């Protein structure tokens, strides 16, 4: 796909953002946010036994591709020259290419220095001499951002090597060109909100609003005992691995559907961001005496969000 055809759309999970940048050039309804929604990725869960909070955002990409019958291939290589040859030949054939990279090796934003061994997906559109032209629809800065432009080919190759030169190639996108996804997106949007409000738990796995409530309830009683590294990682999970990102997806879908509550919901997201920032602040200050007041803020935010989501459902279904 020619880089001039690409519209870099802000996403909130790297693979869906990369897929959305390719698919939206064929059907503008298929942003990364729509892909997550249609793939069932708006699901927050918390494992109380392990103190891990996560989401189905990443897996929803493959659910979406399967459900929509979109043909794709995943390739890996052991030899760098073979990987580069395949990349350049695929680009010359105008194929839609997504590279899976070692995030800690990326240098076009300093946020990646915090990524450790995690992976990150980008679109690549050209290789010219010592440079590559990339599009990154989800740079996980404090306020998520995007990046497009030329970067060092050596940097990309070193980061690509970390994943055994893994790439995803999309094929035969014409089938999605004229399909209208409006009603499917709206149904998935309402279902995601209802599921979040419903919550629930099964064998120490908590869902939706109950997941975030239980996490901070656990933190209230165990904060003093937990190592700083665990608390920092929990904060990272909240902000990057789904909880906050899912809310931004819903916010952007609200705006697209014209539902009318996007500004109010953005205030809710900002409140959750503040809670995450306070958690980090108290972590480094070891101010366990502040955890009750933080948990009170969590309960208040859950209630305010639930009331707003009820209004959204009632308005959208009315």
DSSP string, 143-191: S-EEEEEEEEHHHHHHHHHTTTS-EEEEE--GGGTT---HHHHHHHHHH
Burial (CB < 10 A; 0-12, 13-18, 19+), residue 273, is middle
CB 128 within 8 A of CB 6: no
- Check whether 238 has a pLDDT greater than 70: yes
pTM of the predicted structure, to 2 decimals: 0.88
- What pLDDT is attached to residue 51? 92
Q: Could you give the percent of the chain with pLDDT greater than 70?
A: 97
CB 195 within 8 A of CB 253: no
- What pLDDT is attached to residue 233? 84
Q: What average pLDDT does this structure show over 164-172?
A: 92
- Check whether 315 has a pLDDT greater than 90: no
Q: What average pLDDT does this structure show over 296-313?
A: 96
- Check whether 36 has a pLDDT greater than 70: yes
- What pLDDT is attached to residue 3? 52
- Of the ranges 44-53, 112-121, 297-306, the best mean pLDDT one: 297-306
Spatial distance between the Cα atoms of 31 and 16, rounded to a whole number of angstroms: 8
Spatial distance between the Cα atoms of 217 and 233, rounded to a whole number of angstroms: 17
CB 214 within 8 A of CB 206: yes
Q: What average pLDDT does this structure show over 247-276?
A: 93
Spatial distance between the Cα atoms of 43 and 54, rounded to a whole number of angstroms: 8
């Amino acid at each position: 796909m020619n880089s001039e055809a690409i519209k870099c759309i802000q996403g909130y999970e790297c693979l869906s953002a990369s897929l959305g940048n390719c698919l939206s050039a064929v059907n503008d309804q298929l942003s990364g946010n729509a892909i997550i929604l249609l793939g069932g990725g708006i699901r927050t869960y918390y494992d109380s036994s392990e103190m891990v909070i996560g989401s189905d955002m990443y897996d929803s990409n493959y659910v979406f591709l399967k459900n929509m019958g979109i043909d794709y291939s995943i390739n890996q290589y052991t030899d760098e020259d073979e990987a580069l040859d395949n990349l350049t030949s695929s680009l010359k054939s105008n194929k839609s290419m997504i590279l899976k990279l070692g995030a800690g090796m990326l240098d076009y934003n300093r946020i990646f220095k915090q990524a450790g061994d995690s992976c990150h997906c980008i679109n690549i559109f050209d290789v010219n001499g010592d440079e590559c032209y990339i599009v990154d629809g989800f740079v996980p800065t404090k306020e998520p951002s995007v990046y497009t432009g030329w970067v060092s080919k050596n940097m990309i190759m070193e980061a690509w090597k970390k994943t055994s030169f893994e790439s995803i190639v999309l094929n035969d996108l014409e089938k999605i060109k004229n399909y209208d996804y409006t009603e499917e997106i709206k149904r998935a949007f309402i279902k995601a909100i209802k599921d979040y409000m419903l919550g629930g738990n099964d064998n120490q796995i908590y869902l939706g609003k109950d997941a975030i409530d239980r996490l901070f309830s656990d933190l209230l009683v165990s904060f003093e005992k937990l190592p700083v590294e665990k608390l920092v990682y929990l904060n990272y999970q909240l902000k990057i691995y789904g909880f906050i990102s899912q809310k931004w997806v819903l916010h952007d879908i609200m705006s697209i559907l014209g539902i009318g509550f996007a500004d109010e919901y953005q205030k809710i997201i900002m409140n959750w961001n503040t809670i995450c920032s306070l958690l980090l602040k108290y972590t480094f200050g070891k101010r366990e005496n502040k955890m009750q007041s933080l948990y009170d803020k969590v309960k208040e935010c859950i209630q305010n969000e639930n009331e707003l989501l009820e209004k959204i459902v009632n308005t959208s279904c009315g």
